[in-house]
Chain A
């Protein structure tokens, strides 16, 4: 029997009280772990969002957004300028256009709907503008158009930012100038197009190389062609309506954006995903700091539980402490014995608490993330798309909906930190009692009253 075994033995001396202390400790340690898990899960989500989307910079001609607005497309000189900007690792230029009924034999798979009708109410095929008053009624019933994107990299159209899913056939070479196309699955179904089928676009026969499906109704109603082909067919040599530039490192995004703003001047609007991602993850960041506050709060609560329990124990065994000192026990030995006792209670509490923490960390992380992100996610009606960064838009909207998909992962590292905090709880919790122990005068044991 030594100091340690005596400490452990004492921890179990009054089972009901020890049980109550252990239970309270288990709850606070469980909370520590759950909050740590929530924090590390949210943090890793933040860094993955920042890492995957952080280096993309979108350049679009000033005044143009999607198919809306006005102004001039970017010229080949400007595109070359963007590519030559320091830290720009690669660029994907694209040119968006729309096919009307006179340009193609294809029928749009989109319903015009009230939204589409409203957007096309200014269109007029009539040239009789002389009187001015009758032009509105002379306009034929509008039809939805088919969007065409010319790009050097079809994958840049993917809404998730990854590879575009080709459901049949093969992808196209974006750098070629042949009359080939990838057709969205909805449009293909509507027009009975298969791999190898042909259709007319801008009066030119075009072959279907593959059919893609992105899960986005608007995208799946469009056509993707090589950039040069679209430039030739629309007689806009070298013109580009959007450039996606990838910066070599996320640290250089801000400097690259300002370099581009200087070199392109008022000709272009520049948006970086880093800015937008930062705005999107701000709710996650507040969850992360909330979780950190939770970790600190639960650790303090645990330490106070140990502290109060040990003060109670020391007061109760004051005489026993005096006796141990009177028969030759050193202060150090008595303190070590009580610290072992505190540590034993904490360790038992920690074992139960960590199991508890693992069980609740999943649901707790999910509910934390969902309750705070619900206000930031938005729903888009299928088939419509606001003026995005150009063409089919970027993968940015996806960040918002992915934010709630934070999975709680209990890593060994989290466990280690929780273990360290547990130790801290025991040490802080027994430091003050240790001071009380040191102050017990052995002469008190001779007092009989």
Chain B
């Protein structure tokens, strides 16, 4: 269970104070697939960064299974990111000089998986998302966008996270590939009972999720 209460985030920019999120309250049940839609600059990425403990809110609380992650120490937040959260980014953000396999193994290392079983586990994860043995050895630059996003999903799943946060995961892909990536995420939420929160521009995709939040100027309006 994820419960966000009165979440506000403002930034001090050279042109003055910018309030990216104001008084956001929402909740997502465990295993639910939720989508967030909204115009560019409405605060979607800012909301995800708060949920993933990448940044701390100005005020409000984020309870993940009754623990307020906004109040955790920096060290505990890092551990939370490693073990409870899986990120999927629009630009994949794989480490360029590591192979697909090594990218997944990196997340396993941070999650505390013993070194000797990392490789087997990473291979398993990559096979599950449809990356074959040959592709696993390649650097990201030698994989297609869709394949890179599959590797990123495998990396996000590596440590059995409670929540997967995806920021426009299909934004850089053609609609057919985007659909496949979405289906992959959807299947996972069903089979692994993982909570998924995905930001998207695609109304088709948003329509298929369990819940959709609409952000407008940092404020939420539920459909």
Contacts and interface: CB of A to CB of B under 8 A. Distances in A.
A324 B81 contact: no
A328 B96 CA distance: 18
A325 interface: yes
Interface stretch (A117-125, A345-353, A440-448): A440-448
Interface in A115-141: none
A13 B78 CA distance: 27
Contacts, number: 76
Interface in B62-106: 75, 78-79, 81-83, 87, 89-91, 93, 95-98, 102, 105-106
A442 B49 CA distance: 9
A385 interface: no
Interface of B: 45-46, 48-49, 52, 54-55, 75, 78-79, 81-83, 87, 89-91, 93, 95-98, 102, 105-107, 109-111, 115, 155, 159, 167-168
Given A9-B97, A446-B45, A448-B90, A325 B115 contact: no
Contacts of A10: 97
B97 A448 contact: no
Interface residues of A, number: 25
A445 B89 contact: yes
A1 interface: yes
Contact of A328 (B48, B55, B110): B110
A327 B87 contact: yes
Contacts of B109: 1-2
Contacts of A442: 49, 54-55, 81
Contacts of B54: 326, 441-443, 445-446
A330 interface: yes
Contacts of A447: 45
B27 to A, nearest CB: 22
B93 A445 contact: yes
A6 B98 CA distance: 9
Contacts of A329: 78, 82, 106, 110
A1 B102 contact: yes
B110 A327 contact: yes
Interface in A315-340: 319-320, 323-331, 333
Given A326-B54, A445-B54, 5 more contacts: A323-B89, A327-B155, A328-B111, A330-B78, A442-B55
A320 to B, nearest CB: 6
Of the candidates A320, A324, A441, A445, the one having the most CB atoms from chain B within 10 angstroms of its own CB is A445
A314 to B, nearest CB: 15
Interface of A: 1-2, 6, 9-10, 13, 319-320, 323-331, 333, 441-443, 445-448
Contacts of B168: 448
B173 to A, nearest CB: 15
Across chains A and B, which 4 residue pairs bring their CB atoms closest together, nearest first? A328-B82, A328-B110, A443-B55, A443-B54
A40 B52 CA distance: 58
Contacts of B79: 328
Contacts of B98: 1, 6
22 contacts: A1-B98, A9-B97, A324-B95, A325-B78, A326-B52, A326-B87, A327-B82, A327-B107, A328-B78, A329-B110, A330-B75, A442-B55, A445-B87, A445-B89, A446-B45, A446-B46, A446-B49, A446-B89, A446-B167, A448-B45, A448-B91, A448-B168
B107 to A, nearest CB: 5
Most buried by B among A6, A10, A319, A448: A448
A1 B115 CA distance: 8
A13 B106 contact: no
Given A1-B102, A446-B167, A328 B83 contact: yes
A6 to B, nearest CB: 8
Contacts of B159: 328
Nearest to A14: B97
Contacts of A330: 75, 78, 110
Contacts of B102: 1
Contacts of A333: 110
A445 to B, nearest CB: 6
Contacts of B110: 327-330, 333
Nearest to A442: B54
Contacts of B87: 326-327, 445
Contacts of A324: 95, 106
A433 to B, nearest CB: 18
